[in-house]
Amino acid sequence: MIQMDEKIQGIYQEVLKRNPGETEFHQAVLEVLECLGPVIVKHPNFADRKIIQRICEPERQIIFRVPWMDDNGEVQINRGFRVEFSSALGPYKGGLRFHPSVYLGIIKFLGFEQIFKNSLTGLPIGGGKGGSDFDPKGKSDDEVMRFCQSFMTELYRHLGEHTDVPAGDIGVGGREIGYMFGQYKRITNRYEPGVLTGKGLTWGGSLVRTEATGYGATFFVNEMLKARKDSFEGKICTVSGSGNVAIYTIEKIHQLGGKCVACSDSNGVIYDEKGLDLDLIKQLKEVERRRIEDYIKTHKHAKYIAKGNIWEIPCQVAMPSATQNEINGKDAATLVKNGCIAVGEGANMPTTPEGVKLFLEAKIAYGPGKAANAGGVATSALEMQQNAGRDSWTFEYTEKKLEDIMINIHNNCFETADEYGAPGNYVLGANICGFIKVANAMVAHGLI
Ligand code: GLU
């Protein structure tokens, strides 16, 4: 990666000082800033207008109390967040994460990445992110509903199809979006589908939205492989996680001729040499909300490795689809040593800076999350388009649009990396390409 020049180093130091303790946010900012040296040289007006400093400061940050009643009649209190980072390219757009690890630093890293990711999609969406430290694990359906209703009772005043449009992320899927949509409708007395994406298919949702992040990440890897005159055909793959992103990554890998042999959850890893039985995983995770350990109850030939490390399983393609910093330097070294030739990130920032450095040095095809997993939010923007036109598109039509968007993102990142003298470096390509579009819009809009 290119050395940070002095001016940018100073900006980074200021970010550290202004945002103490937010380590994930620091990490996300550093990765982008490290790539921007040559951009500032080419576009001195970005420095004059302090575009980098402004982009690192969210336009608005909302933190609120979320009180709710559990099934035992006891009052519970969580903290809610919405960080509206950038509206340079469109209304704030990005998911909501419900997970006990959530605090401002995580929401800010996600919101910051979302600015560039959304820019890369080529669609008119700004960047934002939100969520809560609420833990949906082990909660009853009614508890989740009461929490979502309380969360939306505060958040609704900040939303709108032209203002801010949340969606899902870890811990937020169709069920949670449904409860939040219902509460929004009740409070505002408006049936406004464009205010949330990831909706159910009978009430304004889009076909392919559920599959989009996983399918999109796999399309992206397919393009990286094609650029190297290779394909998924016969490739052994591993996919961490077993949520929505992982499930549809596995599905698309299988459709493209690859064989996915392992996935995981926070308790352990499933290894099935014959190739994962996706119907079973869907039944366990999507229908019954169980742990993947139960896979071996019916598939005795497979192995369950409690507390195992999925990156120790040899593979040619690795697709981290669980959470941030799940591949460290050691894991990256293991993957490369075991013959991994491509990594496509379905999760946001799943590789630590040491891991990224190793992948780039090894010159494997490495697709960073903000490019590789942009298919989810891109399809959210397609959902917004359908809502605005009171329309609904077919699966085939929508999937083709998603594939075209991913091919475009790949080509833009690839060409930008070339243009800036770092061929094959998709990190540099994605950061520069995503940044320039936002920066130009910010210059055009004046000092706001
Ligand atoms: N949470 C997803 C992401 O990380 C999707 C956001 C959206 O659809 O708005 O991009």
For 243-275, the pLDDT digits (tens) are 999 999 999 999 999 999 999 999 999 999 999
Q: Nearest to residue 260, comparing CAs of 142, 190, 248, 380?
A: 248
String of b and e for 216-228 (b: at least 16 CB within 10 Å)?
bbbbbbbbbbeee
Q: Name 443's Cβ contacts closer than 8 Å, sequence gap at least 6.
A: 45, 46, 49, 51
Q: For the whole model, what pTM was predicted?
A: 0.97
Ligand 1 pocket, mutate which of 176, 213, 345, 406 (most atoms under 8 A from CB): 213
The residue written with tokens 């999609």 in the block is: 121
Q: Is the CB of residue 191 less than 8 Å from the CB of residue 199?
A: no
Return left, alpha or beta for 199; rule: phi > 0 is left, psi -120 to 50 is alpha, else beta.
beta
Distance in angstroms (rounded) separating the CA atoms of residues 214 and 411: 19
Phi, psi of 293 (to 5 degrees): -50, -35
* Rounded CA Rg of the chain: 21
In the chain, CATH 3.40.50.10860 covers 60-192
Ligand 1 atom nearest to CA at 209: 8
Q: In what order do the strands lie in the sheet with 75-86?
A: 60-69, 75-86, 127-132, 92-98, 164-167
Distance in angstroms (rounded) separating the CA atoms of residues 390 and 407: 27
Ligand 1 atom nearest to CA at 96: 1
Share of the chain above pLDDT 90, in %: 98
pLDDT band at 3 (very low <50, low <70, confident <90, very high): low
What per-residue confidence (pLDDT) applies to 5? 85
In the chain, CATH 3.40.50.720 covers 212-372
Q: Is the CB of residue 374 less than 8 Å from the CB of residue 429?
A: no
The residue written with tokens 């409708």 in the block is: 185
Going from the Cα of 373 to the center of ligand 1, the distance in angstroms, rounded, reads 9
Kindly state the average pLDDT of the residues 311-328: 98
Question: Each residue of 278-308: pLDDT tens digit?
Answer: 999 999 999 998 999 999 999 999 999 999 9
Going from the Cα of 369 to the center of ligand 1, the distance in angstroms, rounded, reads 11
| Mean residue pLDDT across the chain | 97
Question: Each residue of 10-60: pLDDT tens digit?
Answer: 999 999 999 999 999 999 999 999 999 999 999 999 999 999 999 999 999
Q: Is the CB of residue 271 less than 8 Å from the CB of residue 305?
A: yes
Going from the Cα of 228 to the center of ligand 1, the distance in angstroms, rounded, reads 29
What per-residue confidence (pLDDT) applies to 1? 46
Kindly state the average pLDDT of the residues 223-227: 98
Going from the Cα of 94 to the center of ligand 1, the distance in angstroms, rounded, reads 5
Whether 357 is catalytic is no
CATH 3.40.50.10860 holds for 60-192 = yes
Token readout for 373 is 């997993």
Candidate list 129, 235, 252, 370, residue with the active-site label: 129
Token readout for 316 is 């040619």
Token readout for 253 is 């890998």
Q: Which residues line ligand 1 (CB under 6 A)?
A: 93-95, 167, 169, 197, 348, 376-377, 380
CB atoms within 10 A of CB 255: 11
Domain 212-372 CATH superfamily: NAD(P)-binding Rossmann-like Domain (3.40.50.720)
